[in-house]
């Protein structure tokens, strides 16, 4: 079969990316939300324990057990609700700026009903903080997570053009990435190696690991700020090209990535997504695509670091694995790799500075059974630490 036509050659100084991708894509839900483009930096309404905003360094996973929650201050705006305004308490309970923690004040508070009646309120909280941890509501199943998603609104985002192994648990709910328990998964934004991505991620902890297994978080705005300006400029001008080779049994199969093994369906997907492809054999495929390095949040207008160059690049692998792969395969035939959009290699020191920026902003908390974590996928990156024992965390995505 023939490869897709190569996109036209770019003129000197011309961006390789459509402007719409540099600016981000605004979902219908966000267009209809009524949020202003620029939010004021003031403390959001009805946030308890406001002194926690000043505690930006360090964390204590046990602070939730001992924290003294203050009452809302007189004159502060409270959420509009058909229920009593004090059904939940909201605060920064870990001594870190995220995640924001929402807990029931009373036994039996129905989180699904609360979310359905408080959409504007928690939408505002999510835009300001980037991640909300709902604790104490005891969500204990994939159908329960789907019910919360439905109450909160947003269109289900199906996981196609995959980069990690997952299993569909129920409906729109998947297992979290099924990498070996002894491996860490670096911080990243979901599907930031593509031009279409989910706006929100919903995690639910059905069973926490015996040890480890946290889901670290990092503010993508702060990651962008930490990366040297010269690096940001080069990445922005060139974009990131992701090269993937399928069919050698070293990475995901064509079927798992595209959710089909029919060549015509794969080609149609690639053409629609502006992915260059070349069949190397009946079951061997090579793809490449140039994507954004950063984008702007469609509601707040803030710039965020938004790519996976540091994950796709061969240097992300352990040294012994790198050595074995490069002895076995030419660099352009590696299962996956990343370079600049013009074909130039990405310098190692730049990748090191990017990984250091993520590490500096990394925040973690310990999962409890029944926890639900809602993440704005543009504002906050996520990962996974190595763990021992059984760990069951499921995830769903919405647009």
Q: According to the model, what pLDDT value does residue 84 have? A: 40
| Judgement on whether residues 354 and 369 belong to the same structural domain of the protein | no
pLDDT band at 282 (very low <50, low <70, confident <90, very high): confident
Q: According to the model, what pLDDT value does residue 95 have? A: 86
Mean pLDDT of the chain: 83
Q: Is residue 174 part of a domain?
A: yes
Q: According to the model, what pLDDT value does residue 201 have? A: 98
**The pLDDT of residue 175 is above 80:** yes
| Judgement on whether residues 174 and 42 belong to the same structural domain of the protein | yes
| Judgement on whether residues 143 and 244 belong to the same structural domain of the protein | no
Q: Is 311 exposed, middle or buried (0-12, 13-18, 19+ CB in 10 A)?
A: buried
Q: Is residue 15 part of a domain?
A: no
Q: According to the model, what pLDDT value does residue 192 have? A: 98
| Judgement on whether residues 372 and 317 belong to the same structural domain of the protein | no
**The pLDDT of residue 210 is above 50:** yes
Instruction: State the total domains in the chain.
Output: 2
Average pLDDT over residues 183-191: 97
pLDDT band at 12 (very low <50, low <70, confident <90, very high): very low
pLDDT tens digits, one per residue of 215-244 = 999 999 999 999 999 999 999 999 999 999
Q: Is 51 exposed, middle or buried (0-12, 13-18, 19+ CB in 10 A)?
A: exposed
**The pLDDT of residue 9 is above 80:** no
pLDDT tens digits, one per residue of 329-374 = 999 899 999 999 999 999 999 999 999 999 999 999 999 999 999 9
| Judgement on whether residues 36 and 145 belong to the same structural domain of the protein | yes
| Judgement on whether residues 272 and 393 belong to the same structural domain of the protein | no
Q: Is residue 233 part of a domain?
A: yes
Assess contact for 217 and 367: CB atoms under 8 A: no
Q: Is residue 4 part of a domain?
A: no
Q: According to the model, what pLDDT value does residue 61 have? A: 35
| Judgement on whether residues 210 and 307 belong to the same structural domain of the protein | no
Average pLDDT over residues 53-74: 33
Q: According to the model, what pLDDT value does residue 249 have? A: 77
Average pLDDT over residues 324-329: 92
**The pLDDT of residue 27 is above 90:** no
| Judgement on whether residues 148 and 255 belong to the same structural domain of the protein | no
Q: Is residue 22 part of a domain?
A: no
Q: Is residue 14 part of a domain?
A: no
Q: Which of 4-8, 103-107, 271-275 has the lowest mean pLDDT?
A: 4-8
In which domain, by residue range, is 284 found?
A: 224-358
Average pLDDT over residues 269-284: 94
| Judgement on whether residues 151 and 239 belong to the same structural domain of the protein | no
| Judgement on whether residues 149 and 182 belong to the same structural domain of the protein | yes
- Look at 77 and 295; give whichever has higher pLDDT: 295
| Judgement on whether residues 298 and 375 belong to the same structural domain of the protein | no
pLDDT band at 287 (very low <50, low <70, confident <90, very high): very high
Q: Is residue 280 part of a domain?
A: yes
Q: Is residue 3 part of a domain?
A: no
pTM over cut 0.85:
no
Q: According to the model, what pLDDT value does residue 14 have? A: 45
| Judgement on whether residues 151 and 240 belong to the same structural domain of the protein | no
Domain of 102, CATH number, reads 3.60.130.10
């Amino acid at each position: 079969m023939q490869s897709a036509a190569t996109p036209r050659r770019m003129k000197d100084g011309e961006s390789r990316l459509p402007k719409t991708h540099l600016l981000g894509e605004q979902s219908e839900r966000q267009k209809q939300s009524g949020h202003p483009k620029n939010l004021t930096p003031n403390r959001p309404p009805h946030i308890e324990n406001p002194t926690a905003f000043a505690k930006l360094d360090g964390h204590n996973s046990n602070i939730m057990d001992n924290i003294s929650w203050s009452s809302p201050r007189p004159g502060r705006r409270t959420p509009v609700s058909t229920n009593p305004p004090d059904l939940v308490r909201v605060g920064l309970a870990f001594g870190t700026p995220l995640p924001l923690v929402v807990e029931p004040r009373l036994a039996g508070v129905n989180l699904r009903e609360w979310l359905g009646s408080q959409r504007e309120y928690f939408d505002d909280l999510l835009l300001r903080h980037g991640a909300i941890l709902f604790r104490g509501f005891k969500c204990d199943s994939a159908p329960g997570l789907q019910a919360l998603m439905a109450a909160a609104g947003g269109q289900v985002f199906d996981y196609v053009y995959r980069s990690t192994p997952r299993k569909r648990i129920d409906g729109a709910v998947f297992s979290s990435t099924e990498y070996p328990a002894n491996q860490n998964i670096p911080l990243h934004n979901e599907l930031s190696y593509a031009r279409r991505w989910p706006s929100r991620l919903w995690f639910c902890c059905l069973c926490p690991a015996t040890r480890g297994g946290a889901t670290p978080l990092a503010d993508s705005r702060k990651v962008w700020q930490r990366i040297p300006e010269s690096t940001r400029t080069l990445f922005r001008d060139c974009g990131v090209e992701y090269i993937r080779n399928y069919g050698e049994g070293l990475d995901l199969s064509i079927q798992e990535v595209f959710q089909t093994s029919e060549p015509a369906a794969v080609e149609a997907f690639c053409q629609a997504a502006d992915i260059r492809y070349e069949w190397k054999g009946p079951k061997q495929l090579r793809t490449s695509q140039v994507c954004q390095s950063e984008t702007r949040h469609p509601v707040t207008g803030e710039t965020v670091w938004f790519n996976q160059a540091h994950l796709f690049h061969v240097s992300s692998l352990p040294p012994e694995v790198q050595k074995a792969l490069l002895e076995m395969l030419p660099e352009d035939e590696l299962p996956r790799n990343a370079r600049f959009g013009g074909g130039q290699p990405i310098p190692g020191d730049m990748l090191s500075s990017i990984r250091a920026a993520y590490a500096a902003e990394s925040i973690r908390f310990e999962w409890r059974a029944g926890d639900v974590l809602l993440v704005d996928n543009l504002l906050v990156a996520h990962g996974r630490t190595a763990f021992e024992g059984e760990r069951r965390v499921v995830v769903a995505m919405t647009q």
